[in-house]
Amino acid sequence: MSALARRKFYKSVSIAGSDGKWEVNLDHRKLKTPDGRLLQVPNKELALGVAFEWDSVTEHIQTSQMHLTGLCFTVLDNPHKRTDKDLAEKITGYLDTDTVLFPVEHPTELAEAQRREWGAVLEWVRHRFGVDLQPAESGSLVCSVPQQTLDVLQEYLLTHNTWTLTGLLFAVESVRSTVLPLAALERKLVPREVARLSRLEAEYQADVWGRVEWAHDVDSLDTEARVAAGMLVAHLCSSATAHNVKHKHAG
Partner 1 sequence: MSAGPAIKQLVHGLLRELHSPASRHGVLGIYRAHVMDTARRFRVTGEEHCRARDELAHLGALYHSYLSSRRRHQLLLQTYKGGGERTTADTAAMVGFKLPHDPR
Report the distance separating Cα 152 and Cα 147, nearest Å: 9
With 0-12 / 13-18 / 19 or more C-beta atoms within 10 angstroms meaning exposed / middle / buried, residue 72 is: buried
Q: Cβ 237 to partner 1, closest distance in Å?
A: 11
Q: Cβ 246 to partner 1, closest distance in Å?
A: 6
Across the strands, what pairs with 197? none
Total residues found in the chain within this entry: 251
Report the distance separating Cα 40 and Cα 20, nearest Å: 9
For residue 14, which phi and psi values (nearest 5 degrees)?
A: -145, 170
Across the strands, what pairs with 61? 6
Footprint of partner 1 on 161-220 (CB under 8 A): 187, 190-192, 213-214, 217-218
Pattern 64-103, binding to partner 1, x per CB under 8 A? -x-xx-----------------------------------
Q: Cβ 44 to partner 1, closest distance in Å?
A: 7
Pattern 19-58, binding to partner 1, x per CB under 8 A? -------------------------xx--xx-xx-xxxxx
Cβ nearer to partner 1, comparing 12 with 138: 12
Q: Which residue stretches of 130-190 are H helix?
A: 147-157, 162-175, 179-185
Interface pick for partner 1 out of 21, 211, 246, 248 (rule CB under 8 A): 246
HSE-up of 161 (CA within 13 Å, CB side)? Answer: 13
Give the residues lining the site for partner 1 (CB under 8 A).
12-15, 44-45, 48-49, 51-52, 54-58, 65, 67-68, 187, 190-192, 213-214, 217-218, 221-222, 224-225, 228-229, 231-232, 235-236, 241-243, 246
